[in-house]
Amino acid sequence: MTPFAPPIETRGLVKCYGELTAVDHVDLTVGVGDVYGFLGPNGAGKTTTLRMLLGLVRRDAGTIRLFGHDPAEDPIRALDGVAGIIEEPRLYEYMSGRANLELLASFDRTGAGPADIDEVLNMVELHDRAGDRVSEYSQGMRQRLGIASCLIRRPRLLMLDEPANGVDPAGIRYLRGLIRRLADEGITILLSSHLLAEVQEVCSRVAVINKGCIVYEGSLAELRAGAARRHRLRATDPHRASDVCSRVGAVRDQRLEGDELTFLLDDEKGPLVLTKALAQAEVGIISLTRDQPTLEALFFRLTAEEPEGAAVPEVSGT
Amino acid sequence: MISGTLISYRAELRKLIAQRRTWLGIATAALVPVIFLISIQISKVTPHDGPYDTPLGPNLRHSGLAIDFVVLKLVAVIGPTLIAALVAGDIVASEDMAGTLKTILVRSLRRGEILAGKVLALFTYLAAALLAYTVVGEVTGIIFWGFHPLTNLSGDSISAPHALALTVPSLVLYGIPVLAIASFGLFLSVVTRHSVAAIAGTLLYALALQGLAALSALASIRAFLLTTQLSAWHDLFQTPTAGDAIVRSLWVSALFAIPPLLAAWIVFQRRDVAT
Cβ–Cβ under 8 Å, residues B176 and B250: yes
- Which of A94-108, A155-169, B115-129, B134-148 has the weakest average pLDDT? A155-169
Confidence band for A47, pLDDT divided at 50, 70 and 90: very high
The pLDDT tens digits of the residues spanning A232-274 come to 899 999 999 999 999 888 888 888 888 889 888 887 788 889 9
Contact across the interface for A89 and B103, Cβ inside 8 Å: yes
Contacts of B105 in chain A (CB under 8 A): 54-56
* Test mutation, A58, A92, A95, A110, chain B, max B CBs within 10 A: A92
Nearest CA in chain B to A49: B274
The pLDDT tens digits of the residues spanning A192-210 come to 988 887 888 888 899 999 9
Confidence band for A317, pLDDT divided at 50, 70 and 90: very low
* Test mutation, B2, B9, B23, B108, chain A, max A CBs within 10 A: B108
Nearest CA in chain A to B117: A107
Contact across the interface for A57 and B272, Cβ inside 8 Å: yes
Give the distance from residue A135's alpha carbon to the nearest chain B alpha carbon, in angstroms: 12
pLDDT at A318: 40
The 10 Å CB-count burial string (b at 16+, else e) for B22-37 is beebbebbbebbbebb
The minimal CB distance from B7 to the residues A83, A89, A106 is found for: A106
pTM: 0.84
Identity of residue B23:
W
Average pLDDT in the A82-96 region?
Answer: 93
**CA–CA gap between residue A17 and residue A59 (Å, rounded):** 11
> For all residues of chain A together, what is the average pLDDT?
87
Q: How many residues does chain A have?
A: 318
Nearest CA in chain B to A53: B106
pLDDT at B138: 93
**Helix B67-75 and helix B20-42: axis angle, to 10°?**
110
The pLDDT tens digits of the residues spanning A209-232 come to 999 999 989 888 887 776 667 888
Average pLDDT in the A157-177 region?
Answer: 87
pLDDT at A268: 76
The pLDDT tens digits of the residues spanning A55-64 come to 999 999 999 9
Contact across the interface for B11 and A103, Cβ inside 8 Å: yes
Q: How many residues does chain B have?
A: 275
A17–B contact, CB cutoff 8 A? no
High-pLDDT (> 90) share of chain A, %:
56
- Is the pLDDT at A308 greater than 60? The verdict is no
Contacts of A106 in chain B (CB under 8 A): 7, 10-11
pLDDT at A305: 55
Bridge-based pairing state of the strands A35-39 and A205-210:
parallel
The minimal CB distance from B100 to the residues A51, A92, A153 is found for: A92
pLDDT at B47: 64
Contacts of A92 in chain B (CB under 8 A): 15, 18, 100
How far is C-alpha B232 from the chain's CA centre?
13
- Residues in chain B with pLDDT < 70? 44-49, 76, 275
The pLDDT tens digits of the residues spanning B132-174 come to 999 999 999 999 999 999 998 888 999 999 999 999 899 999 9
Give the distance from residue A8's alpha carbon to the nearest chain B alpha carbon, in angstroms: 16
The minimal CB distance from B106 to the residues A79, A92, A110 is found for: A79
Average pLDDT in the A125-154 region?
Answer: 93
CB atoms within 10 A of CB A222: 14
